[in-house]
């Protein structure tokens, strides 16, 4: 009897080696060697945060821990490739599916199919819309609303007389983008002295963010005092654009970011960024604990928040850099 068959009805930057596993694992059912099979419908290459997150998951669900992880990254962030991988995992009869969705919508049919096959689905990082918690076990992620609220609270404190600001957003249709907008706007939207001069997606990209901010600075001159970048890579692109415009990051234009990657903390330590809100990528151990509970028939909360920190000074960044993974 497989681990999946023992479940009580409670459902209700990848390496070349890992990529090869994702391409070959879908050609037949696993578990014959006694390992619990995990289908990981992943995002794949998308930046430093995603690399850290997916590597942590892969390092956690190993054969030594009793698992066979079938890693399936999206092809060019395409949702169809994720849906195809999800369907293959259901057809194989894996024991659990981990899903990090490239897009929030369009998952109802896939989730219903997994539910009919009695395969529990655990969302990692990104949520789905509509958020029907009867179709998945739980979502494990830092709290985007809380993290972006921390950025907004810092901004209100850093600019007591208000500021003109611009927002660099992630790709449209991604749940974390919507949540980060909601958290930030819940605070800053109520401050009449804060004026949004615009917002635009830069697709989590340093290069795209640099190009966007170059245009913004040319159009608005020195009327932008603050840039909120929804991830570190875009924030670092903003730093480059500000410097090339002859301005000083941290003085002429303050830049706040979300994620807490090494490069961002180094930029904060150098006074190039002004605030970095961590979006902790390392929750492999938490995911393992949830999987074990689900396989044992235990009930888990429908939302599990990953604790994260915030860094508002060069000293706090240097301290974090000294002792983190």
The tens digit of pLDDT for each residue in 114-130 reads 999 999 999 999 999 99
The answer, yes or no, to whether residue 25 has pLDDT greater than 80, is no
CB 273 within 8 A of CB 264: yes
Contacts of 161 (CB under 8 A, 6+ apart): 193
Least Cα distance to 21 among 38, 33, 36 occurs for 38
Contacts of 284 (CB under 8 A, 6+ apart): 56, 57, 59, 60, 61
The answer, yes or no, to whether residue 10 has pLDDT greater than 50, is no
Residue with tokens 């992880």: 69
Go through 209-230 and write b for each residue having 16 or more CB atoms within 10 A of its CB, e for each that does not. Answer: bbbbbbebbeeeeeebbbbbbb
The tens digit of pLDDT for each residue in 304-317 reads 999 999 999 999 99
pLDDT at 31: 52
The tens digit of pLDDT for each residue in 62-108 reads 999 999 999 999 999 899 999 999 999 999 999 999 999 999 999 99
Least Cα distance to 236 among 196, 276, 182 occurs for 276
DSSP one-letter string for 38-107: EEEEE--SSSHHHHHHHHHHHHHS-TTTTEEEEEEE-STT-HHHHHHHHHHHHHHT-SEEEE--SSSSS-
Least Cα distance to 42 among 94, 15, 93, 82 occurs for 82
Could you give all domains of the chain from N- to C-terminal order, each with its CATH number? Answer: 4-141+280-307 (3.40.50.2300), 144-279 (3.40.50.2300)
CB 265 within 8 A of CB 276: yes
pLDDT at 220: 84
């Amino acid at each position: 009897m497989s681990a999946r068959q023992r479940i009580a009805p409670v459902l209700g930057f990848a390496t070349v080696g890992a990529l090869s596993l994702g391409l070959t694992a879908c050609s037949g059912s696993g578990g014959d060697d006694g390992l619990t099979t995990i289908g990981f419908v992943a995002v794949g290459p998308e930046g430093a945060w995603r690399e850290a997150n997916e590597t942590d998951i892969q390092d956690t669900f190993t054969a030594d821990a009793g698992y066979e992880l079938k890693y399936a990254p999206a092809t060019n962030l395409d949702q169809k490739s994720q849906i195809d991988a999800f369907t293959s995992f259901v057809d194989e009869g894996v024991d659990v599916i981990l899903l990090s969705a490239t897009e929030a919508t369009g998952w109802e049919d896939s989730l219903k199919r997994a539910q009919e096959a009695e395969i529990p689905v655990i969302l990692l990082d990104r949520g789905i819309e509509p958020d029907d918690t009867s179709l998945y076990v739980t979502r494990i992620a830092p709290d985007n609303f809380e993290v972006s609220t921390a950025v907004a609270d810092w901004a209100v404190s850093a600019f007591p007389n208000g500021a003109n600001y611009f927002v660099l957003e992630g790709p449209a249709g991604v749940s974390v983008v919507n949540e980060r907008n909601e958290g930030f706007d819940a605070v800053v939207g109520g401050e009449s002295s804060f004026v949004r001069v615009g917002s635009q997606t830069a697709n989590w990209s340093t290069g795209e963010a640099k190009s966007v901010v170059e245009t913004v600075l040319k159009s608005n001159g020195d009327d932008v005092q603050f840039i909120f970048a929804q991830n570190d890579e875009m924030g670092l692109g903003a730093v480059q654009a500000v410097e090339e415009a002859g301005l000083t990051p941290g003085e002429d234009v303050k830049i706040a970011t979300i994620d807490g990657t090494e490069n961002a903390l180094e930029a904060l330590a150098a006074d190039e960024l002004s605030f970095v809100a961590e979006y902790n990528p390392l929750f492999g151990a938490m995911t393992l604990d949830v999987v074990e509970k689900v396989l044992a028939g235990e009930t888990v909360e429908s939302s599990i928040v990953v604790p994260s920190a915030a860094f508002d000074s060069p000293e706090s960044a240097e301290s974090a850099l000294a002792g983190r993974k």
